[in-house]
Chain A
């Protein structure tokens, strides 16, 4: 979810004066030290009685439980269920957001006409729809999808709208004067300009989708990792619960990593990898 939104160009003057050798340990080693310190603190807290081991088992116990999980089919089934809801919801939201964003963005009339409605609907938290989802779909995957699609749709839509608004007027007029059709203008002028914004929208939506997939599973009980967490908690398997929570974190790290790589790949040809906009 957390994204650094303004990416500024890197310090230019570094290239003027030679790059100075960094002192001390290399970065990966320092990072590893950080992780080890974190795990050590976690290990010590219950041992020293700062928190009860019943509520926060030591790191070693949780990691052992996580490793045990990795060998179990049930765990992977739950991961699969979470990821299915994530992928489906994200895909629907991206298609909807992209199509509507293009249609609305390309018409100045529609942009003004829909602006107030979008600005009003967008800040509505998707978790407000939880009771509705329960009422309509119960504990099925559709509940997760409703929440995911609602939340992600706005992320994509807004970025696409920004992207279309960024299209160079001169380029657009040129295309029109050469008799490009609507579809050709979309394909050859609007889409390339908008692509970096779309990728940003997808990257933001990808992490939002995971949050809502887990939320739906925790609260509504649709199948997946979140539901397993609730079950582990109510069953008193506290180390197991923490292990599952760690698993959702790693899932998030994985999603962030993959979307960032995909974004870089897709935009590698792009002349200007743009800074992101604050919607």
Chain B
């Protein structure tokens, strides 16, 4: 009974929206919006075949490689800079500028510097995604609790073991917040870099559909991007819940007081 009720909450609104869409489009033929049935049909015809391997998969691989590299580099660099007060002060204005720079402007720059290839697209993703991770890591390391530091010191936990046992775990909540932003920027940059300069990939294909006025195909491409976004978000939430179980528990206890 209870599961039935939650299922109801889960599905009712999406079903209402779907029905509304279906009724709104089924009357007269609408050039801009296909019917749900037409979209579903186009979606399967367009993407559930060769295109999945030639366009979707390479895009997703570039995204994953870029985002992972940005996370690793961001955390590594963030630890190095964050643990050193002088380095923090020296880099702050420059990093502050790069944080504020809208990442899409990096696309034309890297097209010039790297050329138009896979390397450029990954470079765009890395150079746009690294900032939230980097700056959040620096901030997290800067604001580490001094009592935790003294605890580590008094028990002889120093150097790499201190980073492993104390600094990284205590910085994880803030780093994860950066990773979440990193993911959404990464997805934006994946699409943009392909729309801007490419002859394959998801972004390129969708723009091609739009240019040739293949409207249902274009919509199906939007659906693919949406699905990737939703999938990334779920994967992230799953990881976050595992990595930060302690943190959410701690917050709950603190908020209950």
> Which residues does A use to contact B, with CB under 8 Å?
1-6, 8, 10-11, 13-14, 22, 24, 27, 30-35, 37-38, 51, 55-56, 112-117, 119-120, 122-132, 134-136, 207, 210-211, 214-215, 218-219, 226, 229-230, 233, 238, 241-242, 245, 248-253, 255-256, 278
Contacts and interface: CB of A to CB of B under 8 A. Distances in A.
B229 A123 contact: yes
B123 interface: no
A116 B192 contact: no
Interface in B102-137: 102-105, 107-109, 112-113, 131-132, 135-136
Determine the interface band of chain B, counting residues with CB < 8 A from chain A.
35 or more
Given A2-B132, A124-B230, A219-B192, A214 B105 contact: yes
Contact of A125 (B105, B188, B221): B188
A125 B97 contact: no
Interface string B135-165: 1100110010111000000000000000000
B184 interface: yes
B256 to A, nearest CB: 13
A30 B229 contact: no
Contact of B100 (A10, A51, A256): A256
B104 to A, nearest CB: 4
Interface of B: 9-14, 17, 32, 85-86, 89-94, 96-105, 107-109, 112-113, 131-132, 135-136, 139-140, 143, 145-147, 173-174, 176-178, 180-181, 184-185, 187-188, 191-192, 195-196, 203, 206-207, 209-210, 213, 215, 218-219, 221-222, 225-226, 229-230, 232-233
Nearest to A54: B112
A119 B100 CA distance: 27
A113 B101 contact: no
A87 to B, nearest CB: 16
A204 B181 CA distance: 11
B218 A6 contact: no
A94 B17 CA distance: 23
Contacts of B215: 135
A89 to B, nearest CB: 14
Given A1-B181, A132-B218, A249 B101 contact: yes
B92 A31 contact: yes
For the complex of A and B, 8 pairs with smallest distance between CB atoms: A252-B100, A5-B177, A131-B210, A30-B89, A128-B225, A123-B233, A34-B90, A249-B101
A38 B9 CA distance: 54
A124 B227 CA distance: 7
A4 B139 contact: yes
Contact of A131 (B14, B185, B221): B221
Given A11-B145, A31-B90, A253-B97, A219 B195 contact: yes
Contacts of B98: 249
Nearest to A276: B177
Contacts of B218: 131-132, 135
A39 B24 CA distance: 57
Nearest to B183: A123
